[in-house]
Amino acid sequence: MVDTIKNHLVLSFSQQQGDRHGRSQIRRFCANSDGSLYELGLVWLEGDKGGTMSLARPVLLFDSSKDAGPNGRLRYYHKGFVAPDSKSNWANLYVTFQIADAGHNGGWLGTRLVDEWNNSRNPPGIAWFQGDIAFAYRACDDGNPANDNHLLIGYHGLGIRDEPTGDFDEIGFIDKIGLSRSIHEFAIKDAIGFLPGY
């Protein structure tokens, strides 16, 4: 991947750091006048004591938009760490990205890409799409293998939307749209005992 502001080649690696396997790092390279490359240095994601780890192929993007600041921002999408001797190879999906505060985890912030219930045996597919990020992953459901291998696609991978964020008005939705549209039928049966008058 190329940092288009500094004109650096940026590569991501996983390497053992002390007793921790699969620690994620970024290495920057610059070109000499003869075209050969020299390394500018390496940075551990989330700093020397950070927890970003993966043995799967990550996707590294460079954000040069005005929202990313004058130096741009690296975004590192990856599957969580799975020990080589593990009986399962699924994990959550994460994004770790640069922030302006270098005093916080070496200038990095990590979060799940979706939530703790969305797992995959593969790293996510990531691409710039209409000024935001689209992502896709192959779902894994170890509790019910019949639900494995569904392709799930999401938008707004930057986590930013142009409309205000607010709480969902469940009561208003039930009143205007109806209970049958607001909750799946199986969930209604479970919830009915908690509704007043039932």
Three-class SS of 93-159:
EEEEEECCCCCCHHHEEEEECCCCCCEECCCCEEEEECCEEEEEEEEECCCCHHHCCCEEEECCCCC
d(CA 66, CA 121): 35
| Residue 164 pLDDT | 64
Per DSSP, the three-state class of 29 is strand
- The model's pTM: 0.76
143 neighbors 98 (Cβ within 8 angstroms): no
Query: CA 143, 149, 155: angle at the middle one, nearest 5?
Result: 105
Strand pairing class (20-31; 8-17): antiparallel
Closest CA to 56 of 2, 88, 93: 93
pLDDT digit string (tens) for the chain, length 198 residues: 999 999 999 999 999 999 988 999 999 999 999 989 999 999 999 999 998 998 899 999 999 998 899 999 999 999 998 888 888 888 999 999 999 998 999 999 998 888 888 889 889 999 999 988 999 999 887 777 787 888 889 888 887 666 665 666 767 777 777 666 555 444 444 444 444 443
For the chain, domain boundaries = 2-164, 167-198
**Which DSSP state fits 12?**
E
| Residue 179 pLDDT | 64
52 neighbors 45 (Cβ within 8 angstroms): yes
